[in-house]
Chains A and B, each alone.
Chain A
Amino acid sequence: ETGVTQTPRHLVMGMTNKKSLKCEQHLGHNAMYWYKQSAKKPLELMFVYSLEERVENNSVPSRFSPECPNSSHLFLHLHTLQPEDSALYLCASSQDLRGTLAKNIQYFGAGTRLSVL
């Protein structure tokens, strides 16, 4: 148990479907992140939220839509995805985005393995 829980663990969807990934952190952190992990590529930071406010959007296609209703929950809404979007999507949280370095340490969930058919 890492303190960051992601559901579902596996998801298969067609290109016309709409689905959502959920992330919940039980660590009392203020910042949350979405990463994409594709085979043989470095982790790609997608979105960053601090106190429910989005602070970074790394040129992610609009078919990915994040939502952060409170500092404990983060969603990634998916629609009209492409096969190349198949990957492991990782959520992470940190105590804060700024301040001491210790507060920036990121803790990861187990990920959602997404397959787009």
Chain B
Amino acid sequence: AQSVTQPDIHITVSEGASLELRCNYSYGATPYLFWYVQSPGQGLQLLLKYFSGDTLVQGIKGFEAEFKRSQSSFNLRKPSVHWSDAAEYFCAVGAGSGYALNFGKGTSLLVTP
């Protein structure tokens, strides 16, 4: 069965600084990977997804993620963080033709002035 680990529970970055959120997955075949963001009091919004092809995927709000099979990782990056990026970020993995997603526990991002 597939699983997801987000090693960082909390991350604090200064506004304008770069950001990298880590995600490691466990799955025997090619996974399907997602990053979602949850702002306070809101549901989950899809930031980006990886199904196949180019390992660097672009998402909304200036985010990108890179799939590295050798490291079983799908880290989320943003070159310059804005205060509005403060939120909870979830990595999720799907497999095969199924619909079930396994979510990580999330990383809470705090942005300081």
User: Are A108 and B36 neighbours in the complex by a CB distance under 8 Å?
Assistant: yes
**With an 8 A cutoff between CB atoms, is B97 at the interface?**
yes
**In the docked arrangement, what's the CA distance between A2 and B44, Å?**
9
Task: Name which of A2, A97, A106 has the most chain B CB atoms within 10 A of its CB.
Answer: A106
**With an 8 A cutoff between CB atoms, is A61 at the interface?**
no
**With an 8 A cutoff between CB atoms, is A74 at the interface?**
no
- CB-nearest residue of chain A relative to B9? A40
Q: Which residues of A contact B51 (CB under 8 A)?
A: 101-102
Partner of B94, one of A41, A104, A111: A104
Q: Which residues of A contact B41 (CB under 8 A)?
A: 9, 110
Question: What 1/0 mask marks residues of chain A from 78 to 111 whose CB sits below 8 Å from any chain B CB?
Answer: 0000000000001010100111011011111111
Q: Which residues of B contact A9 (CB under 8 A)?
A: 41
User: Are A105 and B100 neighbours in the complex by a CB distance under 8 Å?
Assistant: no
User: Are A98 and B97 neighbours in the complex by a CB distance under 8 Å?
Assistant: yes
Number of B interface residues in the complex (CB < 8 A): 25
Partner of A48, one of B4, B44, B99: B99
**In the docked arrangement, what's the CA distance between A42 and B23, Å?**
14
**In the docked arrangement, what's the CA distance between A47 and B110, Å?**
32
User: Are B42 and A101 neighbours in the complex by a CB distance under 8 Å?
Assistant: no
Question: What 1/0 mask marks residues of chain B from 95 to 107 whose CB sits below 8 Å from any chain A CB?
Answer: 0011111111110
Partner of A108, one of B32, B44, B97: B44
User: Are A105 and B46 neighbours in the complex by a CB distance under 8 Å?
Assistant: yes
User: Are B103 and A42 neighbours in the complex by a CB distance under 8 Å?
Assistant: yes
**In the docked arrangement, what's the CA distance between A109 and B41, Å?**
11
Q: Which residues of B contact A92 (CB under 8 A)?
A: 44
**With an 8 A cutoff between CB atoms, is B113 at the interface?**
no
Pairs across A and B, CB under 8 Å, 6 listed? A6-B43, A40-B105, A97-B99, A101-B97, A108-B43, A108-B45
The 6 closest A-B pairs by CB, nearest first: A108-B43, A108-B44, A43-B103, A110-B43, A42-B103, A97-B99
Q: Can you add 12 more A-B contacts, CB < 8 Å, to A42-B105, A108-B43?
A: A6-B43, A42-B4, A42-B104, A90-B44, A99-B97, A101-B32, A102-B51, A106-B46, A108-B36, A108-B44, A110-B42, A111-B43
